[in-house]
Chains A and B, each alone.
Chain A
Amino acid sequence: MSGSPPPDEAPQGGTDPATPDAATHADQAPERDGSSTATLTEDERAAEIAAADERARDQGTIGLEAGFAERFVAAVTGTSVLVTLLAFVAAFVVGGIVIALSDGATQQALGYFTARPSDTFVAAWEVVSAAYVALITGSLGGRSQISETLVSATPLILTGLAVAVPLRAGLFNIGGEGQVIAGGMVAGLIGFSFPGLPLVIHLPFALLGGLLAGALYGWVPGVLKQRTGAHEVITTIMLNNIGVLTSAYLLSTLLFRVPERTDPISRPVAESATLPRFVPELRVNVGIVIALLLGVLIFWLVERSAQGFELNAVGLNPHAATTSGMDPGRTVMRAMTVGGALAGTAGASVILGVQGRITTGFSAGLGFDGITVALLGRGRIGGTVAAGLLFGALKSGGRSMQAQTGTSLDLVLVIQALIIIFVAAPGLVRAIFRVRAEELTTAQVAKGWGS
């Protein structure tokens, strides 16, 4: 969020953790929370927050009092720079402890810890520093590493947004996995079924097919919620399983399979449907540009357009939204459809840009990664894009860490989880580092089952 409320609206600003001013006035926030429950109903309070949020947004311009970096990080995480940095430090320290404890040499040295404690620390330092150096150089250490980072980030940005957009309407889209599969399957099918078409027609056709397939796969839980109230968490989880199994079945049929082979691998995508690379020897392709452009479009849609206002209003308080003439059911359906379209595009970008053919399990947890990306971004569009880039760097760095030092790529999952744990619970970070950082209220990005 770029908006910053003027000083006279400070108390309301305090409830919006992404606003830099929130930090300075945050001491009023808990008290306000406490007293307002007594005087205001939940609905009134949420409406007031929505109004304040909107006023803040209308200011549009970026406040001059906060530095760019601080605003950037606040936008990403909704917490202060200090707490966020410390969260990263804490996550990497705990990750380092996990590496050291699982390392054979360190375990041996730990066996005679009381005799020569220095051996343990030396051994631990060696294995941990080697792993982390490989992690950093593997993500940013050169042209091909940066290329790999952008390749990994492309689907993460898209699936992150696929979770973030419904989140703004108070919906939790766990169905990214199924939507990625739907998008990838259809994009791949179009990609290898029409080999004669020129690139300008074939590529957009395949991408659009993936987008629409994902949108359809997201529309189903949306419309079920709108019409019957079926909870989107259940329906999207079920649709994930259905997607995985159905795609496994389809890949074994002649519609997808290579006729001469029996293993479930599809025919290769035609050259004319492949996302072009910028440089032939680097894998980075037009997909990252598409992801960033969609990010800008979604930013406008969610933060600036009338539809986006409805989306946010429904997310903050469906009762108030209904009272002011909006249709929460329709908004819910649209939010899930947009989310599905984004995840479907992510699937298309993986098949058309990187893998070139569909295999079972090509989605590889991208939908779930999207959840962590959106949560680190706190459901903000800019924050989600930045978080997608960060996790893309961690992923590509993790791969070269695994190749160079033998430390398993799974460590990246642990570190990602730790970062979000520490960012989501700033109180924990303050307790660990004994810093008296500003008291910030952490926004509830997700609501209960009854939302």
Chain B
Amino acid sequence: MSAVATTTSAAAKTRRSRRFGAFSLLLVAVMGGAFTTTARGDTATFVLNDARGQLFDLPALVLPVVPTVIVLTIAVAAIAARQLTTGFGDRAVVMVGVASGLFVLAFLTWAAAGDALSVIGLLRGTVRASTPIAFGALCGVLCERAGVINIAIEGQFLAAAFAAAVFASMAGSPWVGLLGGIGAGALVAWMLAGLSIKFKADQIVVGVVLIVFATGVTSFLTTQILSGNPQLNTPSRFPTLEIPLLAEIPIVGPILFRQTILGFGMFVAVAWLHYALFETKWGLRLRSVGEHPKAADTVGIRVLATRYRAVLLGGVVAGIGGSWWTLDAVGQFSREMTGGRGFIALAAMLVGRYSPVGAFGAALLFGFADALATSLQLLGVPIPSTLLLTAPFVVTIIVVAGLVGRLRPPAANGQPYVKG
């Protein structure tokens, strides 16, 4: 809707800054009003050690609740004052992030009052929960940078989770399961590519329908076959690996260097795809067919073949992400077990503005919200867990509506290319 686009004039910037200021004031009100008065204890304990051992133990961080919250509130209030007056100029969005981060810290202090919060557990949970979202978002980046809208990530997840469970159970090895999952993800991607590139069907239609198709087929086969043959649905899972020495570093070690192979794979995939997309000839060609396929064609790039390969590679990446459910997290396939995470991955890709690193950051945000809900349940915070679980979705709406601004998708996104 570029016709309703707000121009980035000075007036618009002032208006935006005011909106950010109002948002910060809201945070200040909640922090100063609710957190200081309703805390359930005087001190909050943050445990920084991992139970599995490390080079040396860190002392637990014990903070007085009310003074800590007041200090954080004053900091956010200062940010709000600047936003409402002169504004932060180019750093406006960054400062909203800082204000939100301070709010989360105050919230954690309030939640952990009179109790102990495992910081390591929270951050490990964040990385774990964001793994499939990051893979899905990378799949989206690959497809859409090449000009093919892939809304079917959820379908690729489901197909891959199902195939991974069955293959791993039959072969008794999670690696075979991973190959099966990759194959299933690529199969859905091949259907998307064939229908949208070769037969030029509407890409969003095909994407939605492939989700319905994958949901239907996996649910049907689960009811008809897996429920009667439980030996087909007991995949062996990937073990947690440790990188020697690095895993012993306090805080960083347990979070980054104690992962399953899929967790390590996520970091590698993000870094490699970011480099490949923006620094290599392959990436330039891939982006060119998404931005201006005619120009790419003119200089001899095979547009349709490039798009096919990008979508198939995306299917491979999404297949790894889908395998996470049955080979890493749960160890059993159940109907519709991906629970809409494919859509969250889509949102992460858009929030990350079509860049692998940006999408990864957004995936971490969603993963953090997931892990936070689990941590708060452990702490027994008096907020219903169903309402806590809405937090990531509310945050996404706020982020998308106010903080990220307009998307600039690849110019030829969603348009079939006809040579001529």
Interface residues, chain A, with chain B CB atoms under 8 Å away: 30, 33-34, 98, 102-103, 172, 174, 224-231, 233-235, 237-242, 245-246, 248-249, 252, 318-319, 321-322, 328-329, 332, 368, 371-372, 375, 407-408, 410-418, 420-421, 424-428, 442-451
Q: Which residues of B173-224 have CB atoms within 8 Å of chain A's CB atoms?
A: 191, 195, 198-206, 208-210, 212-213, 215-217, 219-221, 223-224
Shortest CB-to-CB span from A176 to chain B, Å, is 12
A-B contact pairs, 8 of them (CB 8 A): A230-B401, A234-B346, A241-B340, A245-B393, A318-B4, A413-B219, A417-B212, A425-B206
- Name the residue of chain B whose CB is nearest to the CB of A412: B216
Q: Which residues of B contact A410 (CB under 8 A)?
A: 215-217, 219-220, 223
Q: Which residues of B contact A318 (CB under 8 A)?
A: 1-4
Q: Which residues of B contact A246 (CB under 8 A)?
A: 386-387, 390
Q: Does B361 contact A (CB under 8 A)?
A: no
Shortest CB-to-CB span from B395 to chain A, Å, is 9
Q: Which residues of A contact B347 (CB under 8 A)?
A: 234, 237-238
Asked whether B340 lies within 8 Å of A446 as measured between CB atoms, the reply is no
Asked whether A252 lies within 8 Å of B384 as measured between CB atoms, the reply is yes
Q: Which residues of B contact A451 (CB under 8 A)?
A: 1
Besides A246-B386, A329-B4, 10 new A-B residue pairs in contact (Cβ under 8 A), listed by A number: A229-B5, A238-B347, A322-B3, A372-B212, A413-B215, A413-B219, A444-B202, A444-B414, A444-B415, A451-B1
- Name the residue of chain A whose CB is nearest to the CB of B228: A104
Rounded to whole angstroms, the CA-CA distance of A396 and B160 in the bound complex is: 30
Q: Which residue in A237, A442, A449 is a CB contact (below 8 Å) of B407?
A: A449
Rounded to whole angstroms, the CA-CA distance of A319 and B3 in the bound complex is: 6
Q: Which residues of B371-420 have CB atoms within 8 Å of chain A's CB atoms?
A: 384, 386-387, 389-390, 393-394, 396-397, 400-402, 405-409, 413-415, 418, 420
Rounded to whole angstroms, the CA-CA distance of A414 and B206 in the bound complex is: 14
Q: Which residues of B contact A425 (CB under 8 A)?
A: 195, 199-201, 206
Q: Which residues of A contact B225 (CB under 8 A)?
A: 102
Q: Which residues of A contact B199 (CB under 8 A)?
A: 425-428
Rounded to whole angstroms, the CA-CA distance of A249 and B390 in the bound complex is: 11
Rounded to whole angstroms, the CA-CA distance of A418 and B209 in the bound complex is: 8
Rounded to whole angstroms, the CA-CA distance of A448 and B413 in the bound complex is: 6
Asked whether B215 lies within 8 Å of A446 as measured between CB atoms, the reply is no
Best-buried of B6, B195, B401 by chain A (most CB within 10 Å):
B401
Q: Which residue in B202, B217, B400 is a CB contact (below 8 Å) of A442?
A: B202
Q: Which residue in A174, A224, A234, A421 is a CB contact (below 8 Å) of B213?
A: A421
Q: Which residue in A34, A322, A408, A443 is a CB contact (below 8 Å) of B219?
A: A408
Residues A375 and B209 in contact in the complex (CB < 8 Å), given A225-B1, A249-B384: yes
Q: Which residue in B5, B215, B401 is a CB contact (below 8 Å) of A235?
A: B401
Residues A408 and B205 in contact in the complex (CB < 8 Å), given A242-B393, A425-B195, A450-B409: no
Q: Which residues of A contact B420 (CB under 8 A)?
A: 34
Residues A424 and B400 in contact in the complex (CB < 8 Å), given A328-B4, A449-B149: no
Shortest CB-to-CB span from A267 to chain B, Å, is 20
Rounded to whole angstroms, the CA-CA distance of A365 and B223 in the bound complex is: 18
Shortest CB-to-CB span from A7 to chain B, Å, is 27
Rounded to whole angstroms, the CA-CA distance of A418 and B206 in the bound complex is: 10
Q: Does B350 contact A (CB under 8 A)?
A: yes
Shortest CB-to-CB span from B374 to chain A, Å, is 15
Asked whether B386 lies within 8 Å of A245 as measured between CB atoms, the reply is yes
- Name the residue of chain A whose CB is nearest to the CB of B342: A237
Question: Top 6 closest A-B pairs, CB basis?
Answer: A413-B216, A448-B414, A417-B213, A414-B216, A446-B204, A425-B201
Residues A450 and B407 in contact in the complex (CB < 8 Å), given A237-B343, A375-B208: yes
- Name the residue of chain A whose CB is nearest to the CB of B19: A228
Asked whether B4 lies within 8 Å of A449 as measured between CB atoms, the reply is no
Residues A229 and B209 in contact in the complex (CB < 8 Å), given A242-B390, A450-B2: no
Asked whether B397 lies within 8 Å of A249 as measured between CB atoms, the reply is no
Q: Which residue in A102, A226, A322 is a CB contact (below 8 Å) of B220?
A: A102
- Name the residue of chain B whose CB is nearest to the CB of A426: B199
Rounded to whole angstroms, the CA-CA distance of A98 and B217 in the bound complex is: 8
Q: Which residues of B contact A446 (CB under 8 A)?
A: 202-205, 414
- Name the residue of chain B whose CB is nearest to the CB of A224: B401
Best-buried of B213, B225, B344, B346 by chain A (most CB within 10 Å):
B213
Q: Which residue in B210, B386, B390 is a CB contact (below 8 Å) of A417?
A: B210
Q: Which residues of A contact B208 (CB under 8 A)?
A: 371-372, 375
Shortest CB-to-CB span from B376 to chain A, Å, is 14
Asked whether A245 lies within 8 Å of B387 as measured between CB atoms, the reply is yes
Rounded to whole angstroms, the CA-CA distance of A337 and B144 in the bound complex is: 29
Best-buried of A172, A237, A427 by chain B (most CB within 10 Å):
A237
Asked whether A328 lies within 8 Å of B1 as measured between CB atoms, the reply is yes
Rounded to whole angstroms, the CA-CA distance of A240 and B343 in the bound complex is: 11
Q: Which residues of A contact B387 (CB under 8 A)?
A: 245-246, 249
Rounded to whole angstroms, the CA-CA distance of A224 and B407 in the bound complex is: 14
Asked whether A229 lies within 8 Å of B3 as measured between CB atoms, the reply is no
Shortest CB-to-CB span from B158 to chain A, Å, is 12
Shortest CB-to-CB span from A178 to chain B, Å, is 10
Asked whether B350 lies within 8 Å of A411 as measured between CB atoms, the reply is no
Rounded to whole angstroms, the CA-CA distance of A210 and B407 in the bound complex is: 33
Asked whether B409 lies within 8 Å of A442 as measured between CB atoms, the reply is no
Q: Which residues of B contact A235 (CB under 8 A)?
A: 397, 400-401
Shortest CB-to-CB span from A288 to chain B, Å, is 24
Q: Which residues of B344-386 have CB atoms within 8 Å of chain A's CB atoms?
A: 344, 346-347, 350-351, 384, 386
- Name the residue of chain A whose CB is nearest to the CB of B220: A410
- Name the residue of chain A whose CB is nearest to the CB of B339: A241
Shortest CB-to-CB span from A36 to chain B, Å, is 11
Rounded to whole angstroms, the CA-CA distance of A421 and B1 in the bound complex is: 28
Q: Which residues of A contact B402 (CB under 8 A)?
A: 228
Q: Which residue in A34, A230, A424 is a CB contact (below 8 Å) of B397?
A: A230
Shortest CB-to-CB span from B398 to chain A, Å, is 9
Asked whether B414 lies within 8 Å of A411 as measured between CB atoms, the reply is no
Asked whether B409 lies within 8 Å of A448 as measured between CB atoms, the reply is yes
Q: Which residues of A contact B346 (CB under 8 A)?
A: 233-234, 237
Rounded to whole angstroms, the CA-CA distance of A226 and B1 in the bound complex is: 9
Rounded to whole angstroms, the CA-CA distance of A407 and B408 in the bound complex is: 46
Best-buried of A318, A411, A413, A449 by chain B (most CB within 10 Å):
A449
